[in-house]
Structure 1
């Protein structure tokens, strides 16, 4: 049962943006005394309690899934995996969404992604491999239709992070979420942004599928090298 003093905090949350909504949702969970293993309230109730839109609630849930804070179970709901309070919230890294910031982010991403791909090749289970392939198929379909695939491309790379067996990789990528989103949004400015890298997504998947960690590293580097070239070309 939610404590009475929660009502006093509710009015302060009404105008919250996504980042503030994340803090507000953490406060609500703490006030509700939800513990690991407990199911979160339905989406509709969270919308009413926090006075924010459904899309904001879903964005918070996606962020927490990447951090390993919650788990969504099909047909059952979303469950808390770790105790959370406003004081334990994850703070994103401050990265400038300009040429220098994007290139700096790419340097960090290169270190993370190359190793995540190698680990996925070494550890990927059959179920995770199917998810990677499904997301690759979706990405390729959109690319064939539109010439680019921003969200689908990101989903493919996230599935590799998820398959590597180390949740810290996903958490670190989530810290760069805003800058990563800005990077993939470049396809809105130039349809063929990083289009030359798309064949290497399939060869990366093939390397992971056969368990070849070194080949997975090489194919990941090919993808990121093209991304870097196109950033420099677009944002001179």
Structure 2
């Protein structure tokens, strides 16, 4: 297995996560790995692909979210099912030349997914889930107060809520639409104040989940997304 992985050429500096994802899928295919087989260790992948640990771990998290691999503590990462580039990059994306329309259409999907995810998380979350959500929220608040805006930290908060549902389909759907969804956290319309007014409602959403109040979680999620919709319409005029 090691001989095969070391044949992968180092990658250029652009699109590292996508390229590492494709390289790992190609390795799984060429090495004819099957369910139950162990993947190369993180360090082997780092050295073979000439990328950092954070990139490797982001790719592995993507595979985990899709149900492709599982991580066994102290043992490594193991393949759960066969994959190809077609299955890893499912065509769940929105092609729109108009940012306003694309964001509004994506928001409709976000509203359905995130309201339900918040309600489910409120009902079934564990103490560990709650600690993870709060840690992500605390980091989001720190960055927001320091910079006046947040990006990846906001996404991480919402992902933690998805994980707290204990339904892998929520995370898998978001992972397959990540590029489309990420437009909300990349300061659309070049406005760093985009959705800034929604900031306080992330804390109240957390409090609703902590209280296991599903209806309150839904209401707080809607407050966040209503502000997002208002900003899309106002900032795109």
Q: TM-score, normalised by structure 2?
A: 0.84
1:204 matched residue in structure 2: 205
CA distance in 2, matches of 1:63, 1:234: 32
Contact 2:189 2:235 in 1 (8 A): no
Contact 2:2 2:40 in 1 (8 A): no
Matches within 5 A, 1:22-101: 22-49=21-48, 51=49, 53-54=51-52, 56-72=55-71, 76=74, 78-80=76-78, 82-86=80-84, 88-96=87-95, 98-101=99-102
Residues 40-59 of structure 1, C-alpha deviations (whole Å, 9 max, x = no match)? 2123422454x463365344
CA distance in 2, matches of 1:22, 1:171: 15
CA distance in 1, matches of 2:34, 2:108: 38
Provide the aligned C-alpha RMSD in A: 2.8
1:185 matched residue in structure 2: 186
The number of residues matched between the two structures is: 231
For residues 4 and 119 of structure 1, do their structure 2 counterparts lie closer, same or farther at Cα, with a shift above 3 Å needed? closer
Per mean C-alpha deviation after superposition, the further-off stretch among 182-191 and 144-153 is 182-191
Residues 122-164 of structure 1, C-alpha deviations (whole Å, 9 max, x = no match)? 0001101110011111111111111111111110000000001
Contact 1:120 1:164 in 2 (8 A): yes
Matches within 5 A, 1:207-222: 207-222=208-223
Matches within 5 A, 1:58-207: 58-72=57-71, 76=74, 78-80=76-78, 82-86=80-84, 88-96=87-95, 98-186=99-187, 189-207=190-208
Unaligned runs of 5+ in 2: none
For residues 5 and 212 of structure 1, do their structure 2 counterparts lie closer, same or farther at Cα, with a shift above 3 Å needed? closer
Unaligned runs of 5+ in 1: none
Q: TM-score, normalised by structure 1?
A: 0.84
Contact 1:68 1:81 in 2 (8 A): no
